[in-house]
């Protein structure tokens, strides 16, 4: 991609938000070389200069890098002002967009980046936004020679890479994978920022729009190779992990399916069926989640119900989500394990009309979800 020289290689947009602060700190950490100087020119962007300055100061203190605030640029822009987004995009080769929910705030950034020849990366876990941006802007981005890359955080790198890794490890043809996400918390328990909760509320409240979008896309179905993967009940027991599980409601299935479509249509690879679940522990957790799920499904159908869910995330999620998000101690003590159970066929076993004759188990592990942004 040939572009004119720009002041900044990358810009973190929304750096003063909950997620943006972690991204800013991580970029600062990665940009430190042994001599203590930055390798790439970069900047933070948002509405308030004072807040952005404080984010840089906190990162500088945490990393032991007092000169950091003077080394990083600051760009003032607002999602509601297209001209300021254009100005930000013109100054960067890549924009890391941390402003969500993306269904409301993501498209103006994508549009500004494409029009100004800038690549854009986000951490969206919202299938409707991800798929809509592809259909609206794929051709324009290709013509401009820029990349628009969605869901580049916990949704959905572990899932997408895990399926590919599992496919590479099986001694034959992988045809189906089930993944189980287990989140491990420390002594202070688990808490998730309500940005994820908001995405879920709006996603469920607009399921019909996603179905309509997929119907309008008129894509050919990806062929099912081998035995069809059976979907589990909404609450099921995984014997291998000795835990109950529920369907994972993020973007993993959408992202993995799109990857498998690409690999099949462009690289002639055998497509893999995929289902995603999250473990919830024992029967006590199941009962608790069932009550939370019933409230959620009841309230999410109506506008006033969605407003209540968004206003009181801690109450309706039984303490799993909050507007404050996890404390630093909770973040540091948390980790995740994603276990993939794959099935397929050996090279000597015909796929047609036969049951899978080989199985494989792989895992992706990492620090807390907040570190995956």
Nearby residues of 345 by Cβ (< 8 Å), 6 or more positions away:
172, 173, 175, 226, 351, 354, 356, 357, 358
Instruction: Kindly list the domain boundaries of the chain, sorted by start residue.
Output: 8-149, 157-367
What is 8-149's CATH number?
3.40.50.720
State residue 371's pLDDT score.
43
State residue 286's pLDDT score.
82
State residue 302's pLDDT score.
81
State residue 317's pLDDT score.
77
State residue 33's pLDDT score.
63
Q: What averages of pLDDT result for each successive group of 10 residues across the chain (373 residues)?
A: 75 95 92 66 96 96 92 95 96 96 94 97 92 94 96 92 96 96 82 76 79 83 93 92 90 94 95 95 82 79 84 77 78 89 93 91 82 44
Tokens describing residue 253: 């299935």
State residue 369's pLDDT score.
60
State residue 329's pLDDT score.
82
State residue 38's pLDDT score.
55
User: 361, 373, 5, 332: which is closest to 162 by C-alpha?
Assistant: 361
CA atoms of 313 and 319, how far apart (whole Å) = 8
Q: Does the domain made of 157-367 have the CATH classification 3.60.90?
A: no
CA atoms of 235 and 320, how far apart (whole Å) = 18
């Amino acid at each position: 991609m040939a572009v004119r020289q720009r002041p900044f290689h990358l810009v973190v947009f929304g750096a003063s938000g909950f997620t943006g602060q972690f991204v800013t700190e991580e970029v600062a950490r990665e940009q430190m070389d042994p001599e203590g100087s930055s390798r790439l020119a970069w900047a933070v962007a948002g509405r308030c200069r004072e807040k952005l300055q404080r984010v840089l100061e906190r990162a500088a203190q945490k990393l032991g890098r007092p000169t950091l605030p003077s080394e990083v640029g600051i760009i003032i822009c607002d999602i509601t002002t297209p001209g300021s987004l254009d100005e930000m995009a013109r100054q960067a080769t890549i924009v890391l967009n941390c402003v969500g929910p993306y269904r409301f705030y993501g498209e103006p950034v994508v549009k500004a980046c494409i029009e100004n020849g800038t690549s854009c990366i986000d951490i969206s876990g919202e299938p409707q936004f991800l798929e809509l941006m592809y259909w609206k802007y794929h051709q324009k981005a290709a013509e401009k020679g820029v990349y628009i890359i969605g869901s580049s955080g916990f949704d959905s790198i572990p899932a997408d890479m895990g399926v590919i890794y599992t496919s590479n490890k099986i001694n034959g043809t992988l045809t189906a994978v089930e993944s189980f996400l287990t989140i491990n918390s420390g002594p202070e328990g688990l808490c998730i920022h309500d940005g994820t909760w908001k995405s879920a509320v709006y996603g469920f409240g607009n399921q019909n729009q996603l179905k309509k979008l997929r119907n309008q896309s008129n894509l050919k179905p990806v062929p099912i190779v081998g035995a069809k993967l059976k979907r589990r009940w909404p609450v099921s027991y995984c014997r291998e992990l000795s835990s109950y599980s529920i369907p994972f409601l993020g973007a993993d299935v959408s992202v993995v399916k799109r990857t498998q479509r690409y690999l099949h249509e462009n690289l002639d690879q055998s497509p893999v069926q995929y289902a995603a679940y999250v473990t919830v522990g024992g029967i006590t957790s199941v009962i608790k989640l069932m009550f939370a799920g019933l409230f959620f499904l009841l309230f999410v159908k109506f506008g006033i119900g969605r407003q209540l869910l968004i206003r009181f995330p801690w109450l309706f999620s039984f303490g799993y989500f909050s507007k404050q998000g996890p404390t630093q101690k909770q973040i540091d003590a948390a980790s995740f394990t994603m276990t993939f159970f794959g099935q397929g066929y050996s090279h000597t076993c015909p796929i047609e009309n036969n049951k899978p004759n080989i199985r494989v188990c792989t895992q992706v592990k990492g620090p807390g979800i907040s570190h995956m942004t």
